[in-house]
Chain A
Amino acid sequence: EPEVTQTPSHQVTQMGQEVILRCVPISNHLYFYWYRQILGQKVEFLVSFYNNEISEKSEIFDDQFSVERPDGSNFTLKIRSTKLEDSAMYFCASSLQGGSNQPQHFGDGTRLSIL
């Protein structure tokens, strides 16, 4: 069964450094998402992306965050200057179609630890 893959599984970074989290969505999916989950808390929406544009973003997704589809298979999340509170699991998801009423399929996440 096709799946969303994320790399690396664990990223340790010094505060203030830039980090790029990578995702390969399911190949025929057109809509892509990033979520994060701080330890012990809910999964929170960050951003949705379609046709090389951000469709929707949350308040968490401030100027320090950016997303990109650099080629036909990868979808990346960049955090420019990491803060301690950015430590979390980051999940990528994709769906065949967008909007509501569409199941999103998640990767296994990247654990980001900021020191």
Chain B
Amino acid sequence: GESVGLHLPTLSVQEGDNSIINCAYSNSASDYFIWYKQESGKGPQFIIDIRSNMDKRQGQRVTVLLNKTVKHLSLQIAATQPGDSAVYFCAENYGGSQGNLIFGKGTKLSVKP
């Protein structure tokens, strides 16, 4: 998985543009993945999930893509808005666990008006 560190990768986009946030996951046995959004002072907020038997899932303005071959997950946000500014985490869960989510270190998304 990604190394622990104090410095978050940052993505800066213009309002109205599309955003793509990437995540490399660690465990090839992971079979469930979630994207969370965390605003300052708040807890992780569920955005979208995907199971390992899928490679793409769409929600409202968001799409998650899963590439199991290279253990890569991405979150695409269409028409990014200032309210999308937050830290985005991917989390993985492997079959056989009792819900132990393993979080990535996060990407900070800044949307410029």
- The answer to whether A65 has its CB under 8 Å from any CB of chain B is no
Say whether A106 contacts B4, CB under 8 Å: no
Residues A101 and B93 in contact, CB atoms below 8 Å apart:
yes
Instruction: Return chain B residues, CB-CB under 8 Å to A99.
Output: 95, 97-99
Q: A43-B89, A103-B34 given as contacts; is B44 within 8 A of A56 (CB)? A: no
Contact residues in B for A87 (Cβ distance below 8 Å): none
Known: A101-B31, A101-B32, A106-B44. A55 touches B4 (CB 8 A): no
Instruction: Name the interface residues of B97-113: CB closer than 8 Å to any CB of A.
Output: 97-106
Is B43's CB under 8 angstroms from A104's CB?
A: no
Interface contact B89-A100, CB-CB below 8 Å: no
- Residues in chain A near residue B4, CB distance under 8 A: 41-42
Q: Interface range on chain B: under 10, 10 to 19, 20 to 34, or 35 or more?
A: 20 to 34
Q: Is the CB of B100 within 8 A of A48?
A: yes
Decide: A42 near B103, CB < 8 A? Known: A100-B93, A100-B94. Answer: yes
Chain A residues with CB under 8 Å of B36's CB are 106
- Decide if A95 is an interface residue (CB 8 Å cutoff): yes
With A103-B34, A107-B43 known as contacts, the answer to whether A98 contacts B99 (CB < 8 A) is yes
28 pairs, CB–CB < 8 Å, chain A vs chain B: A4-B43, A31-B98, A35-B101, A41-B4, A41-B5, A41-B105, A42-B106, A43-B44, A43-B89, A43-B103, A45-B101, A50-B98, A56-B97, A56-B99, A100-B31, A100-B93, A100-B95, A101-B32, A101-B51, A103-B34, A104-B99, A104-B101, A105-B46, A106-B44, A106-B45, A107-B43, A108-B43, A109-B43
- A101-B51, A108-B41 given; 4 more Cβ-contact pairs under 8 Å: A6-B43, A55-B98, A99-B99, A106-B45
